[in-house]
Structure 1
């Protein structure tokens, strides 16, 4: 679907892409961890045009481009990960133990290109660049922005996001209506018993044995308690217990992740986790304490935005991918819970096998262009929602 606005914006965006590619490399070379993104934010602010900049969520910012009135929000994340880079490029991270291993450098550079294109295009719908901190950790930066009165002041039509996805071939973009990412929570189970000498197990209440049975018992929650036509993940990822081979410790702990695609399943898994841990521990003469940290809610795309964006993707030369839903999580869901939202997944698979959060993950130079075009498609879809899509060209009448 080609529109007059798209026809004016696309050349302006293409003009900005070389500079955006260079900006991406500068961002990649100087990553900042969650909560410490001030330098990254300031670097991006220096490249963004803007009529108004409001600092938000500590190290984040909202930048309005194109004047007052109803606007389209476009989100990009500021933070990097605590990963030691092993890509070998000359513009690799210059900070040991820090790396843009999730593509946030690509997202930021693409957003700058789009914002500059909007600023250079007469009659464009205003854009608000949402520079979000703390996407990779709790407390969520998107949650703080979604709850800020500064966001409400922006009069947003919708909020758009795009994320690189190495499970999709380059050139494909998934703009899927409905649920696309899971709710994500974290849990910790602490089992307390009575420690003692390992040679006298009958005088102890072994929390290690109890925890082992708790972990095995938890595997039945998804396989037996959750409706098989629904989905969930309950994964134990860490274990800690003891300090010596001949000592039964007083406590043992485990932690992990909970993922679900609906609120009822989320509540069920939480309830059964507590029940299994507490009752199994009690059966072994111990006590269990369960702590659940609520994370991102389910991420649901607005159906109208997804459909309209799919048509724009095709017109912009990108191929819409199959519908995509995963148990990954993104705190963009906090924003899409308060505004019509669209999160797109942009293919960057180059055959290398590199994956998100890996020390070798490095999308190619074309990724900045593809993400910028996806953001443009989402921006145009939101403009269509606001103004109404253009009427189709009248067809040619056949002669009798």
Structure 2
């Protein structure tokens, strides 16, 4: 079955590469993915279609019974592209995180499976809003669609430029961090820049807050629990010769330790409030819970790694990062596996110059195939009534 599927997959790759370039030329940002969804649905080989998460869809290929699901992200980023290729986007959005590659790979795999007999049913999750919060994956989970389609495993693959081309990371256990956004507001007393003693300077206090928060990483967190505190924006004042009354900062808290995550929030709030108070100011801290830790199912990771080696790929079992992905939401529904696929590109993720080459479509597709084959044995012998949905 594996050899037959791989041959069928290779035959689908030229069309998938062309589709990737088409999707790359006309990207759509989170919440506006409708045209991308329509184009991807047109490329699929039939199946039942169920609308989900507003601008997303669930597509089932195959008969009733337990299924394996694969995820493709529909959204692009609000980034102006600077790749210079003839098929670059010119609409102010860009597939700067490889979602065009992922979608094309999902299409290639789906068409290959449809061309071959046998195998577990496939559920294609065409997910919106991966790049924003609230999460598109969370909406998919809350819809109950995965349970209705009796999904027994969820498979994903993401391009990763920190890996060399030809390498696929298939790591058991935690692979991506939780990520929670925060907003810090420091309030003081405004006044003339020449008379700082008559003010309570929130800018100075915010500077101390930013520095003090880093001790959470160096002194409060277990050195074996990766933790990142990032202040991404700082805003205060409207003129250089006045002390403003307020400073506002936003950023993220990330960790690979579920036990430390809640305590990190509490310690962060305490450090911020106490530091601002020591500067004569008052701080207000808001924390917006984001994505949980993404944890790969160990058994799936091992079996997929074996399949990848059989297919000629070099397997990395150690890659973990404090990046975040809402794919983590699927872990609560079914055993899940996110693989990271090395690609040939000089620029990093979310860069206006990020552009994996065409071979990345095949690399991601073969990784998804390995994940599908690794998960398919878990569906053997199970029975189900299936789920009803509309036909496209």
Q: Does the TM-score normalized on the shorter chain lie above 0.5?
A: yes
Matched, 1:268 2:254: no
The question of whether the paired residues in 1 share the 8 Å contact of 2:120 and 2:379 is answered with: no
Instruction: Decide which moves more: 279-288 or 23-32.
Output: 279-288
Map of 2:190 onto structure 1? 195
Unpaired runs of at least 5, structure 2: 382-392
User: Of 351, 360, 371, which aligns to 1:367?
Assistant: 360
The question of whether the paired residues in 1 share the 8 Å contact of 2:172 and 2:317 is answered with: no
Which structure 2 residues correspond to residues 159-238 of structure 1 after superposition, within 5 A?
159-238=154-233
Q: What is the Cα-based RMSD across aligned positions, in Å? A: 1.2
User: Of 77, 81, 89, which aligns to 1:81?
Assistant: 77
C-alpha distance in 1 between matches for 2:350 and 2:167: 21
Matched, 1:323 2:312: no
Map of 2:327 onto structure 1? 332
Shift of 1:358: 0.9
Shift of 1:338: 2.0
Matched, 1:152 2:147: yes
The question of whether the paired residues in 2 share the 8 Å contact of 1:50 and 1:66 is answered with: no
User: Of 348, 357, 361, which aligns to 2:350?
Assistant: 357
Higher RCO (C-alpha under 8 Å, 6+ residues apart): 2
The question of whether the paired residues in 1 share the 8 Å contact of 2:62 and 2:120 is answered with: yes
Deviations 1:15-54 (A, max 9, x none): 1111111110110010000110000000000011232100
User: Of 111, 119, 125, which aligns to 1:124?
Assistant: 119
C-alpha distance in 2 between matches for 1:216 and 1:165: 31
Shift of 1:209: 1.5
C-alpha distance in 1 between matches for 2:132 and 2:193: 39
Give the TM-score normalised by structure 2.
0.95
C-alpha distance in 2 between matches for 1:34 and 1:226: 34
Map of 1:297 onto structure 2? 292
How many residues are matched? 381
Unpaired runs of at least 5, structure 1: 389-400
Deviations 1:248-267 (A, max 9, x none): 11101111111100122111
The question of whether the paired residues in 1 share the 8 Å contact of 2:81 and 2:90 is answered with: no
Map of 1:377 onto structure 2? 370
The question of whether the paired residues in 1 share the 8 Å contact of 2:156 and 2:338 is answered with: yes
The question of whether the paired residues in 2 share the 8 Å contact of 1:176 and 1:323 is answered with: yes
Shift of 1:200: 2.4
Indicate the SS of the match to 1:354.
coil
Which structure 2 residues correspond to residues 31-180 of structure 1 after superposition, within 5 A?
31-95=27-91, 97-180=92-175
C-alpha distance in 2 between matches for 1:338 and 1:354: 34
